[in-house]
Amino acid sequence: MKYVIMLALVALGGCSLVTVADRYGNRYGDWYNHGDQYSWQLRVCEDTLNAQSVPPMGRKLAMRCCMWHHGVPIDDAGSCSAA
């Protein structure tokens, strides 16, 4: 049982090495598309949200869609097709 718990902790820690998160709770990247390559998109989208004065309630979706529009793969691209 100790080994299962240890393996789960290592797997969770490994996931954090290949993903990047914004301050709204969205995570980008996976084992094949490492999140550290999306740092410029994070900066551009954060600046865009600030320039457009997006209200706090809409920032999570707006950030995810902005990242998608800049080429970052996301889980639910359909939610951004109209945005």
Please provide the DSSP assignment of 62-76 as one string.
HHHHHHHHTT---S-
Cα angle, residue 51 at apex, residues 61 and 44 outer, rounded to 5°: 65
pLDDT of residue 6: 58
The stretches in the chain having pLDDT less than 70 are: 3-18, 32, 34, 82-83
pLDDT of residue 82: 60
The C-alpha atoms of residue 78 and residue 15 are separated, in whole angstroms, by 24
Question: Left (φ > 0), alpha (ψ -120 to 50) or beta: where does 55 sit?
Answer: beta
